[in-house]
Structure 1
Amino acid sequence: MIGVGSGTAGALARSITANKRMAVGIRGGKANGIVFHSDRGSQYLSANYQQKLANLGIRPSVGRTGVCWDNAVAESLWSSLKRELLHRYRWPTRAAARPAIFAWIQRYNRHRLHSSLGYLPPIEYEQQYHHTRSIRGPEAA
Protein backbone atom coordinates (compact mmCIF):
# COMPACT_ATOMS: atom_id res chain seq x y z
CA MET A 1 0.00 0.00 0.00
CA ILE A 2 1.32 3.42 -0.80
CA GLY A 3 1.27 6.95 0.50
CA VAL A 4 3.36 9.89 -0.58
CA GLY A 5 5.08 12.92 0.79
CA SER A 6 7.06 15.66 -0.88
CA GLY A 7 8.37 19.15 -0.47
CA THR A 8 9.97 20.79 2.54
CA ALA A 9 11.14 19.03 5.68
CA GLY A 10 7.99 20.25 7.46
CA ALA A 11 5.80 18.89 4.67
CA LEU A 12 7.63 15.55 4.81
CA ALA A 13 7.08 15.33 8.56
CA ARG A 14 3.38 16.17 8.16
CA SER A 15 3.10 13.53 5.45
CA ILE A 16 4.11 10.84 7.95
CA THR A 17 1.07 11.62 10.08
CA ALA A 18 -1.23 11.92 7.06
CA ASN A 19 -0.01 8.64 5.59
CA LYS A 20 -0.44 6.89 8.94
CA ARG A 21 -4.03 8.17 9.15
CA MET A 22 -4.66 6.82 5.65
CA ALA A 23 -3.11 3.42 6.48
CA VAL A 24 -5.06 3.13 9.74
CA GLY A 25 -8.30 4.12 8.01
CA ILE A 26 -7.81 1.57 5.26
CA ARG A 27 -6.99 -1.11 7.83
CA GLY A 28 -10.19 -0.52 9.78
CA GLY A 29 -8.54 1.34 12.65
CA LYS A 30 -5.56 -0.98 13.10
CA ALA A 31 -2.16 0.71 13.29
CA ASN A 32 0.13 -2.28 13.89
CA GLY A 33 2.60 -3.31 11.21
CA ILE A 34 2.86 -0.02 9.31
CA VAL A 35 6.15 0.19 7.38
CA PHE A 36 7.53 3.32 5.71
CA HIS A 37 9.77 2.33 2.81
CA SER A 38 11.94 4.93 1.10
CA ASP A 39 15.09 5.38 -0.88
CA ARG A 40 18.27 6.52 0.85
CA GLY A 41 17.48 10.22 0.60
CA SER A 42 19.04 12.25 3.41
CA GLN A 43 15.65 13.64 4.44
CA TYR A 44 14.39 10.09 5.12
CA LEU A 45 17.55 8.98 6.91
CA SER A 46 17.82 12.02 9.20
CA ALA A 47 17.61 11.37 12.94
CA ASN A 48 14.68 13.80 13.22
CA TYR A 49 12.64 11.98 10.56
CA GLN A 50 13.48 8.55 11.98
CA GLN A 51 12.40 9.76 15.45
CA LYS A 52 9.06 10.96 14.07
CA LEU A 53 8.49 7.51 12.56
CA ALA A 54 9.37 5.85 15.87
CA ASN A 55 7.08 8.18 17.84
CA LEU A 56 4.18 7.15 15.61
CA GLY A 57 5.00 3.44 15.81
CA ILE A 58 6.01 3.20 12.15
CA ARG A 59 8.87 0.89 11.19
CA PRO A 60 11.35 2.42 8.72
CA SER A 61 12.57 0.44 5.72
CA VAL A 62 15.29 1.70 3.40
CA GLY A 63 16.52 0.17 0.17
CA ARG A 64 20.12 -1.03 0.04
CA THR A 65 22.68 1.03 -1.83
CA GLY A 66 23.15 -0.10 -5.42
CA VAL A 67 20.42 -2.77 -5.31
CA CYS A 68 17.71 -1.74 -7.73
CA TRP A 69 15.47 -4.71 -6.85
CA ASP A 70 14.79 -3.29 -3.37
CA ASN A 71 12.71 -0.53 -4.92
CA ALA A 72 11.44 -2.23 -8.07
CA VAL A 73 7.78 -2.20 -7.02
CA ALA A 74 8.01 1.40 -5.80
CA GLU A 75 9.71 2.48 -9.03
CA SER A 76 6.91 0.80 -10.99
CA LEU A 77 4.39 2.76 -8.93
CA TRP A 78 6.08 6.10 -9.66
CA SER A 79 6.28 5.25 -13.36
CA SER A 80 2.55 4.45 -13.45
CA LEU A 81 1.61 7.59 -11.51
CA LYS A 82 3.61 9.78 -13.87
CA ARG A 83 2.39 8.06 -17.04
CA GLU A 84 -1.29 7.81 -16.07
CA LEU A 85 -1.79 11.09 -14.23
CA LEU A 86 1.04 13.58 -13.81
CA HIS A 87 2.13 13.73 -17.46
CA ARG A 88 -1.45 13.83 -18.77
CA TYR A 89 -2.85 16.74 -16.80
CA ARG A 90 -1.72 20.16 -15.58
CA TRP A 91 -2.66 21.81 -12.30
CA PRO A 92 -2.00 25.44 -11.41
CA THR A 93 -0.56 24.55 -7.99
CA ARG A 94 0.57 21.53 -5.98
CA ALA A 95 -2.45 22.04 -3.74
CA ALA A 96 -4.73 21.74 -6.76
CA ALA A 97 -3.04 18.47 -7.80
CA ARG A 98 -3.30 16.80 -4.39
CA PRO A 99 -6.94 15.60 -4.67
CA ALA A 100 -6.24 13.97 -8.05
CA ILE A 101 -3.10 12.29 -6.71
CA PHE A 102 -4.95 11.12 -3.60
CA ALA A 103 -7.77 9.65 -5.76
CA TRP A 104 -5.21 7.89 -7.97
CA ILE A 105 -3.48 6.42 -4.90
CA GLN A 106 -6.82 5.24 -3.49
CA ARG A 107 -7.65 3.49 -6.77
CA TYR A 108 -4.14 2.02 -6.91
CA ASN A 109 -4.41 0.63 -3.36
CA ARG A 110 -8.01 -0.57 -3.55
CA HIS A 111 -8.62 -1.72 -7.12
CA ARG A 112 -5.48 -2.07 -9.19
CA LEU A 113 -4.34 -5.64 -9.74
CA HIS A 114 -0.62 -6.30 -9.24
CA SER A 115 1.23 -9.22 -10.75
CA SER A 116 3.75 -9.12 -7.88
CA LEU A 117 0.85 -9.68 -5.44
CA GLY A 118 -0.81 -12.58 -7.26
CA TYR A 119 -3.06 -10.20 -9.24
CA LEU A 120 -4.66 -8.74 -6.13
CA PRO A 121 -4.96 -5.07 -5.12
CA PRO A 122 -2.50 -4.11 -2.33
CA ILE A 123 -5.21 -3.73 0.32
CA GLU A 124 -6.76 -7.11 -0.47
CA TYR A 125 -3.32 -8.75 -0.44
CA GLU A 126 -2.53 -7.19 2.93
CA GLN A 127 -5.88 -8.26 4.38
CA GLN A 128 -5.31 -11.85 3.23
CA TYR A 129 -1.79 -11.77 4.66
CA HIS A 130 -3.01 -10.64 8.10
CA HIS A 131 -5.93 -13.08 8.03
CA THR A 132 -3.58 -15.99 7.29
CA ARG A 133 -1.27 -14.91 10.12
CA SER A 134 -4.17 -14.64 12.57
CA ILE A 135 -5.37 -18.16 11.73
CA ARG A 136 -2.05 -20.01 11.39
CA GLY A 137 0.33 -17.82 13.36
CA PRO A 138 3.24 -15.61 12.25
CA GLU A 139 5.24 -18.45 10.73
CA ALA A 140 2.50 -19.12 8.13
CA ALA A 141 3.00 -15.87 6.25
Structure 2
Amino acid sequence: MTESFFHTLKGHVVHGSVFATRKEANTVLFDYIEIYYNRVRRHSANGWLSPEAFEQKYFKNLEGFVVHDTV
Protein backbone atom coordinates (compact mmCIF):
# COMPACT_ATOMS: atom_id res chain seq x y z
CA MET A 1 0.00 0.00 0.00
CA THR A 2 2.79 2.41 0.87
CA GLU A 3 4.47 1.73 -2.44
CA SER A 4 1.26 2.67 -4.24
CA PHE A 5 1.09 5.96 -2.34
CA PHE A 6 4.67 6.89 -3.18
CA HIS A 7 4.16 5.93 -6.81
CA THR A 8 1.13 8.23 -6.96
CA LEU A 9 2.95 11.00 -5.13
CA LYS A 10 5.91 10.86 -7.49
CA GLY A 11 3.69 10.81 -10.56
CA HIS A 12 1.49 13.71 -9.48
CA VAL A 13 3.95 15.96 -7.67
CA VAL A 14 7.62 15.08 -7.79
CA HIS A 15 8.47 14.06 -11.37
CA GLY A 16 9.18 17.08 -13.50
CA SER A 17 9.12 19.46 -10.53
CA VAL A 18 12.00 21.64 -9.47
CA PHE A 19 11.77 23.15 -6.02
CA ALA A 20 13.82 26.22 -5.17
CA THR A 21 13.93 25.39 -1.46
CA ARG A 22 13.19 22.51 0.86
CA LYS A 23 10.41 24.64 2.37
CA GLU A 24 8.75 24.95 -1.05
CA ALA A 25 8.95 21.18 -1.54
CA ASN A 26 7.49 20.58 1.91
CA THR A 27 4.62 22.97 1.20
CA VAL A 28 3.80 21.33 -2.13
CA LEU A 29 3.97 17.84 -0.59
CA PHE A 30 1.82 18.86 2.38
CA ASP A 31 -0.79 20.43 0.12
CA TYR A 32 -0.94 17.33 -2.05
CA ILE A 33 -1.19 14.90 0.85
CA GLU A 34 -3.51 16.83 3.17
CA ILE A 35 -5.60 18.82 0.71
CA TYR A 36 -5.94 16.36 -2.16
CA TYR A 37 -4.86 12.79 -1.41
CA ASN A 38 -6.37 12.27 2.03
CA ARG A 39 -9.67 13.89 1.05
CA VAL A 40 -10.13 12.32 -2.36
CA ARG A 41 -8.71 8.81 -2.22
CA ARG A 42 -11.15 6.03 -1.52
CA HIS A 43 -10.81 3.82 1.56
CA SER A 44 -11.91 0.22 1.95
CA ALA A 45 -12.94 0.97 5.56
CA ASN A 46 -15.41 3.58 4.24
CA GLY A 47 -17.07 1.29 1.74
CA TRP A 48 -14.67 2.54 -0.95
CA LEU A 49 -15.84 6.14 -0.57
CA SER A 50 -13.54 9.11 -0.23
CA PRO A 51 -13.44 10.58 3.27
CA GLU A 52 -15.30 13.63 1.97
CA ALA A 53 -18.06 11.52 0.36
CA PHE A 54 -18.28 9.32 3.46
CA GLU A 55 -18.72 12.38 5.67
CA GLN A 56 -21.40 13.83 3.39
CA LYS A 57 -23.25 10.51 3.43
CA TYR A 58 -22.94 10.30 7.22
CA PHE A 59 -24.39 13.77 7.81
CA LYS A 60 -27.15 13.21 5.25
CA ASN A 61 -28.14 10.05 7.15
CA LEU A 62 -28.32 12.08 10.38
CA GLU A 63 -30.87 14.52 8.95
CA GLY A 64 -34.13 14.20 10.80
CA PHE A 65 -32.63 12.65 13.93
CA VAL A 66 -33.14 14.54 17.16
CA VAL A 67 -30.09 14.87 19.37
CA HIS A 68 -30.89 14.98 23.08
CA ASP A 69 -28.75 16.95 25.50
CA THR A 70 -28.14 14.84 28.61
CA VAL A 71 -26.67 17.61 30.72
Q: How high is the TM-score relative to the length of structure 1?
A: 0.32
User: Residue 122 of structure 1: CA displacement?
Assistant: 5.2
Percent sequence identity is 35
Tell me which residue corresponds to 1:104: 32
8 Å CA contact 1:112–1:121 kept in 2: the answer is yes
Please report the RMSD computed on the Cα atoms of aligned residues, expressed in angstroms.
2.4
How many pairs does the alignment contain?
A: 52
Tell me which residue corresponds to 2:5: 77
Aligned counterpart for 2:50 among listed residues 114, 117, 121: 121
Helix, strand or coil: the match of 1:83? helix
Tell me: higher relative CO, structure 1 or 2? Use CA pairs within 8 A at least 6 residues apart. 1
Any stretches of 5+ residues in structure 1 without a counterpart? 1-72, 129-141
One-letter identity of the residue aligned with 1:99: T
After TM superposition, the runs of 4+ consecutive aligned structure 1 residues lying more than 3 A away are 122-125
More strand by share: 1
In structure 2, relative to structure 1, the CA distance for the partners of 1:88 and 1:120 (3 Å cut) is: farther
